[in-house]
Amino acid sequence: MAIVEEPQGVPQASVDDKGRLKLPVEFIAYLEAFGGKKLFITTLDKRLGRIYPMSVWQSNLNVLRGAKDKQLAQRKQFEAKVNGDAVEIDDNGRVLLPAATRKLLGITGKDQVWLDAFNGRVNLVTKTVYDERMRESDENRATDEVALDEMEGFR
């Protein structure tokens, strides 16, 4: 799979009252660079949404098929499919978030979310998780800075 440059910001995005997420242009380009408009959207932890280009999701399924722990693999693929669905980016740059995903993440309509591209997917972060992550960053800032200074190769 080719290296695709990830968008570097964590922009806020809107979910409308019909459950459609409006993607920023750079995130559309990122997702489509993996092979098209078809996506798989789910949650694996009931806190963070995961938006996968279909090619990345299919690769994940192949990894699960070859996993040593067959029971874990079966549980995770089943859970992902129950909690998500395949969707397509429409001509207006929107995706319909699966109803199961919205329910588990507490997205009820006209919600603000944040998008974070990482490792071939886009993480969908709700306000609750965003606030938790910002609080955790604030609480760990001093020790994190020391660790980064000691990390070989980090500038």
Asked whether the beta carbons of 41 and 27 are under 8 A apart, the reply is: no
Residue 110 — very low, low, confident or very high, per pLDDT cuts 50/70/90? confident
What is the DSSP code (8-state) at residue 151? S
- Can you tell me the mean pLDDT for 34-58? 96
Residue 154: inside a domain: no
Q: What is the pTM of this model?
A: 0.91
Which residue carries 């922009």 as its tokens? Answer: 11
Residue at 50 is within a domain: yes
**How much of the chain, in percent, has pLDDT values that exceed 90?**
92
Which CATH number covers residue 32?
3.40.1550.20
- Please report whether residue 35 resides in a domain: yes
Tell how strand 48-53 and strand 20-22 pair up. Answer: unpaired
Average pLDDT for residues 83-95, to the nearest whole number?
Answer: 97
Give the C-alpha separation, 59 to 87, whole Å: 17
Residue 4 pLDDT level (bands cut at 50, 70, 90): confident
pLDDT of residue 1: 52
